Amino acid sequence: MNRKGLTALEVLDHCPRDFISLTIEHILIESRIQRLRDIPIFIPQQPEHSSPHLYQEQEESHEQLSSKWKKWENFYTKYLQYQGNWIEETRGTLMVVATVIATLSPPGGVWQENTRNGGHSCKSYGVCEAGTAVVGYVWSEDYVTFMFFNTISFFASLCVVLILISGFPLKNKVVMWVLTIDMTIAVSFMLLTYLWALGLVAPDHLYYRFYKIGFLLGGSWCIILLGVALIQTARLVFCIKKRNIIRVKY
């Protein structure tokens, strides 16, 4: 086809009709050269997936997803999003809680004076020194574990107190996350300290009852921590989603 949109046969039609033109026409026809009007026009069929009905279904599905996301977003804004200046309002409460945690003392008391007659434990160590924990001589390994839990809780509480008195902007999300993590660690290890202290001071005939109580408390606390973790994850997801929406708009 030339620039005018004519095939070789159509160009030949404009030439004088003689023996040579007839011969050329015969050769072109044998070569399956056709005139433009003889070439069938192929009209591609519209694919089924591009039908208006399917487009409408896709649009309705998208609207339903948007509606569901809007409901979840409203739920997040109403119940899960940080409301107002709550962290500033609870600064005093956090300070009190952290201070109380930091002042926990070992159970069981201490020896009032040096003694060698404090039972089998004093005979094993030679002497029970005044001012040392009684439990440390009786159940040494359990006492070390108790002190480990208590120390972690104490240190996390000190971190919270330090953040609160250092003048950091509590509205900052990073500071809020650090405070949340610190308080979670402090309270969790305080629970472990309490349960371990129960085991240290419980009489032998009541030990298994305290064990059941500790099991119930520990299981309940794990469930609560899981719920808090899910809420924090949901907050993070909604925060990222909102930032992406703002970036798309602007």
- Tell me the C-alpha distance between 82 and 172, whole Å: 12
Percentage of the chain beyond pLDDT 90 is: 1
* Contacts of residue 121, Cβ cutoff 8 Å, sequence gap at least 6: 128, 137, 138
When pLDDT is averaged across residues 224-246 and rounded to a whole number, the result is 77
When pLDDT is averaged across residues 200-219 and rounded to a whole number, the result is 81
Using the predicted structure, report yes or no on whether residue 11 has a pLDDT greater than 60: yes
Structure tokens, 201 = 């001071």
Using the predicted structure, report yes or no on whether residue 42 has a pLDDT greater than 60: no
Q: Which residue has the higher pLDDT, 206 or 21?
A: 206
- Tell me the C-alpha distance between 230 and 76, whole Å: 12
Q: What is the reported pLDDT for 138?
A: 73
Q: What is the reported pLDDT for 223?
A: 92
Residue that is written with structure tokens 């003689």 in the block: 18
* Contacts of residue 238, Cβ cutoff 8 Å, sequence gap at least 6: 73, 76, 80, 81
Structure tokens, 217 = 């408390």
Using the predicted structure, report yes or no on whether residue 109 has a pLDDT greater than 80: no
Residue 106's pLDDT band, with cuts at 50, 70 and 90, is low
Q: What is the reported pLDDT for 160?
A: 83
When pLDDT is averaged across residues 120-138 and rounded to a whole number, the result is 67
- Residue pair 95/164 in contact (Cβ under 8 Å)? The answer is yes
Residue 86's pLDDT band, with cuts at 50, 70 and 90, is low
Strand partners, 110: 133
pTM equals 0.56
- Nearest 5 degrees, angle CA 164-CA 77-CA 231? 65
When pLDDT is averaged across residues 216-232 and rounded to a whole number, the result is 87
- Residue pair 80/130 in contact (Cβ under 8 Å)? The answer is no
- Nearest 5 degrees, angle CA 17-CA 1-CA 41? 105
> Among 12-16, 33-37, 228-232, which range has the highest average pLDDT?
228-232
pLDDT tens track for 137-193: 777 788 888 889 888 988 888 888 888 888 777 777 778 778 888 888 888 998 888
Using the predicted structure, report yes or no on whether residue 117 has a pLDDT greater than 70: no
- Tell me the C-alpha distance between 213 and 223, whole Å: 16
Instruction: Share the mean pLDDT of the chain.
Output: 71
- Residue pair 146/193 in contact (Cβ under 8 Å)? The answer is yes
When pLDDT is averaged across residues 98-122 and rounded to a whole number, the result is 64
